[in-house]
Amino acid sequence: MEKLTIKTAPIEGQKPGTSGLRKKTRVFMEPHFLENFVQSIWNGIGGAAGKTFVVGGDGRYFNDRAIQVILRMAAASGAARVIVGQGGILSTPAASNLIRKRATDGGIILSASHNPGGIDEDFGIKFNTPNGGPASEDVTGQIFEATTVISQYEILEAQDVDLGAIGTTMLGAMEVEVVDPVADYAALMEELFDFDAIAALFAGGFTLRFDAMHAVTGPYATAILEDRLGAPKGSVLNGVPSPDFGGGHPDPNPIWAKPLVDLVMGENAPDFAAASDGDGDRNMILGRGVYVTPSDSLAVLAANAHLAPGYKAGLAGVARSMPTSGAVDRVAEALSIESFETPTGWKFFGNLLDAGRATLCGEESAGTGSDHVREKDGLWAVLLWLNILAVTKSSVKDLLDAHWARFGRNYYTRHDYEAVENDRANALMDGLRGRLATLPGQSFAAGTVTMADEFAYDDPVDGSRSEGQGIRILFEGGNRIVFRLSGTGTVGATIRVYLEGVESDPAKLNQVAEDALAPVIATAEEIAGIKAHTGRDAPDVKT
Ligand code: G1P
Ligand code: ZN
C-alpha cells in the first residue's frame, strides 16, 4: 500500500461553527475539501502518529465515503488504531462514550445533526477531544488556522475497509476495529437507569412511541426500548436509518415531528412519546395531550434526577445555554446547587462537566445531557424521563403541572427567520447593538428594560472569555428577549429570536405559550424591526 502525498492549497470557508464544519454535501464532495479539513485536524492537534481515534457518523449520504477517506488518511499519518462503528454508524453520544471509555485521543463525528441529508442537503464533520466532547474554541481555532496554510495531505492508496463485520483488520500499519455501535452505549444506560422499574412500567401497559425519524437512533432505540425494556414491537417508529432520513428533516420539534405531536394530542395518544434527531443527540418529550419544552424538560429532570440510580447522590450543579429559559435556575436555587449560564453550543459545557461543577446540562434547542458523556444525548433524556415516571407513577402532564405549581412556569418560544441575506441579518444585529446603551429604563409592552447587553462568557474553569454570544434584553418582572445568529446554517443567515416570560400565578399556568408571550413578541418586533429588516411577515419556524 503506497502512501501518497497530495499537493493542495487552502480552501475558503473551512471555519467550524457552533458544532463543527457544516456545508452542503456537494461542497464536501469537491476535490480536496474533506481531505484538507481532515489533514488540518491532524495538523491542528499536533499530528495523528501513534494515536487512537473513534470514527463514526449518523449514516447520512456520503458518511460511508467520508469514513473510508478518513481511515486512509489516519493510516497515512501514522495513527495506531481507529475504532469505527459497524457500517460506519455511531450516534453522537455513543461516539462520545467510546472516545471516553476506550481512553482514546479523540474522535471524528460525521453528521450535520438535525439538518436534512442527501446529495443536495447537508453534511458535517467535527473533532471531539479525549474527554469525549466537542473541541474547545481553542482547538477548533487551531484546526481552522491549519486549514488556512495547508499545502499537502497524506493518504494511503488502498481498497475500502470492510466495515460490515465486527472485528479488527489492518489498513497498512494501522488497526481498524469495527465495533457494535449500540452495545457499549446500552451498557452505559443500564448503569445509569433502573431498567427493571422501566420494564415493569411497560409490563403494566404503559404505552410509548419513539420516533427515530429514519435517523441514527433507530437501532439504539429498538435495542434498548423494545428488546431490552420490553416496549411492544412497533413502539419505535421510523427505526431504520436511511441516508436521506426518508426525505425528511430529522429535527425533533413540533414542526418537523408534527405527526408525533398530533398523535399525543389525539384520541389514541400513548402515555409518553419522544423523538430524536439525525445523530441522536437531541430529544423532544411529549406526554398524552402535552408537549414539554426543552427548557422545561431540563428543569423537570434536574428536580427529579435523584430518582434514577445514576444520580441518586444528587447533582453537583446544572448548566444551561444563555438562550435557554431560566426554569432550571429556580430548581438549582431550591436544591442549593450552582447553576451556570453558558454560550450556545455544547462545547461550553465541557469544562464544567470535566471539573465536576455541573452534572446536568441543557439547551432550549432540544439538547439535554449529563456528565455520563460529553455530548447531549437524546435517548438518555428519554430514559431519565421514563425512570422518573416509573418511580413517581405520575403522568407527564401531572408531573409538569406539579412542577409549575412549585416553581412557576417559564413561558417560552423561539422564532427563527431562515436563509435571510447575510447583510440584512447583520444590519438587524448591528441596529440592536447600537441601541443597547439606551434601552435600560425604556418601557414596552413587555415591561421596562432592566438590562440590555451582548452576552460574553468567562469560563469559570479555564478563565477563557467568549464574546459576541447573543443580544439579551431583560425586563422588569422576568420577561426576556434574546437575539442571535445561528452558527450551524449552510445558507445565508438564520436569525433566532428567543422569547420568554415568567408566570407564578396559579390561575395562569396553562396558557398557550404564543398567547402568554404576545406582549414579548410585539416588543421584539418593536425593538428590532424584524419585518423591515428581513422583509418577512412571520418567522419560518416557531419552536
Ligand atoms: C443550534 C442550536 C444550539 C445547538 C447547535 C448544535 O445552533 O441553537 O443550541 O448547540 O445547534 O446542535 P445554532 O444554529 O443556533 O448556532
Ligand atoms: Zn444533533
**How far is the C-alpha of 496 from the C-alpha of 418, rounded, in Å?**
8
Radius of gyration of the chain (CA): 23
> Coil, strand, or helix at residue 120?
coil
Cβ(486) – ligand 1 distance below 6 Å: yes
Query: pTM of the prediction?
Result: 0.94
185-407 and 409-542 have identical folds: no
- The reply to whether ligand 1 has any atom less than 6 angstroms from the CB of 543 is no
User: Is residue 236 within 8 Å of 221, Cβ to Cβ?
Assistant: yes
The per-residue pLDDT for 315 is 98
Measure the CA–CA gap between 145 and 321, rounded to whole angstroms. 27
Q: What is the pLDDT of residue 543?
A: 86
| pLDDT score at 447 | 97
pLDDT of residue 449: 98
Nearest ligand, CA 19: 1
CA distance 323 to 295: 10
Give nearest CA residue, ligand 1 atom 13: 486
pLDDT confidence of residue 301: 98
Beta strands in 1-60 (DSSP E): 2-7, 21-24, 52-57
Judge if the beta carbon of residue 363 lies within 6 A of ligand 1. yes
Please tell me the number of the ligand nearest to residue 96's CA.
Answer: 2
Ligand 2 centroid to 340 CA: how many Å? Answer: 22
Question: So what's the pLDDT on residue 491?
Answer: 80
Structure confidence at residue 1 (pLDDT): 81
Q: What is the pLDDT of residue 488?
A: 77
Ligand 1 centre from 13 Cα, in Å? Answer: 19
Site to probe by mutation for ligand 1, drawn from 128, 344, 348 as the one with most ligand atoms within 8 Å of Cβ, is 344
Task: Record the cell numbers describing residue 107, joined without a space.
Answer: 474522535
Fold of 409-542: TATA-Binding Protein (3.30.310)
Closest ligand 1 atom to residue 489 Cα is 14
Asked if residues 342 and 357 have their Cβ atoms less than 8 Å apart, the reply is no
- CB of 496 sitting under 6 A from ligand 1: yes
Ordered by start, the domain boundaries in the chain are 2-181, 185-407, 409-542
Instruction: Extract the C-alpha cell encoding 164.
Output: 460490515
Query: Whose Cα sits closest to atom 6 in ligand 1?
Result: 19
Q: Which single residue is written with the C-alpha cell 396559579?
A: 506
How many A from CA of 486 to the centre of ligand 1? 7
Q: Is the minimum distance from the CB of 113 to ligand 1 under 6 angstroms?
A: yes
Given a contact cutoff of 8 angstroms between Cβ atoms, the answer to whether 420 and 534 are in contact is yes
Q: How far is the CA of 263 from the centre of ligand 1 (A)?
A: 27
Hey, whose CA ends up nearest to atom 10 of ligand 1?
A: 345
What's the grid cell of residue 413? 418560544
107-110 vs 52-57, strand pairing mode: parallel
- State which ligand 1 atom lies nearest to the alpha carbon of 344: 9
Cβ of residue 321 lying under 6 Å from some atom of ligand 1? yes
Residue 114 alpha carbon, nearest atom of ligand 1: 12
The fold for domain 2-181 equals Alpha-D-Glucose-1,6-Bisphosphate; Chain A, domain 3 (3.40.120)
CATH number for the region 185-407 comes to 3.40.120.10
CB atoms within 10 A of CB 207: 16
The burial class, CB within 10 Å (0-12 / 13-18 / 19+), for 427 is: middle
- How far, in Å, is the centroid of ligand 2 from the Cα of 542? 18
**Which amino acid residue places its CA nearest to atom 8 of ligand 1?**
365
Q: Return the best residue to mutate from 363, 491, 497, 543 for the ligand 1 pocket (most ligand atoms within 8 A of CB).
A: 363
pLDDT of residue 197: 98
Q: Ligand 2: distance of its center to the CA of 238 in Å?
A: 17
Which residues does the annotation mark as catalytic? 113
Q: Which residues surround ligand 2, an ion (CB under 5 A)?
A: 113, 277, 279, 281-282
Rounded to the nearest whole angstrom, what is the distance from the C-alpha of residue 346 to the centroid of ligand 1? Answer: 8
Smallest CA separation from ligand 1 atom 1, residue? 488
Burial class (CB in 10 A: 0-12, 13-18, 19+), 300: buried
pLDDT by residue, tens only, the chain of 543 residues: 899 999 999 999 999 887 899 999 999 999 999 999 999 999 999 999 999 999 999 999 999 999 999 999 999 999 999 999 999 999 999 999 999 999 999 999 999 999 999 999 999 999 999 999 999 888 999 999 999 999 999 999 999 999 999 999 999 999 999 999 999 999 999 999 999 999 999 999 999 999 999 999 999 999 999 999 999 999 999 999 999 999 999 999 988 999 999 999 999 999 999 999 999 999 999 999 999 999 999 999 999 999 999 999 999 999 999 999 999 999 999 999 999 999 999 989 999 999 999 999 999 999 999 999 999 999 999 999 999 999 999 999 999 999 999 999 999 999 999 999 999 999 999 999 999 999 999 999 999 999 999 999 999 999 999 999 999 999 999 999 999 999 877 788 999 999 999 999 999 999 999 999 999 999 999 999 999 999 999 999 888
Beta carbon of 317 within 6 Å of any ligand 1 atom: no
Tell me the angle at which helices 518-528 and 422-435 cross, rounded to the nearest 10 degrees.
100
Burial of 185 (0-12, 13-18, 19+ CB in 10 A): buried
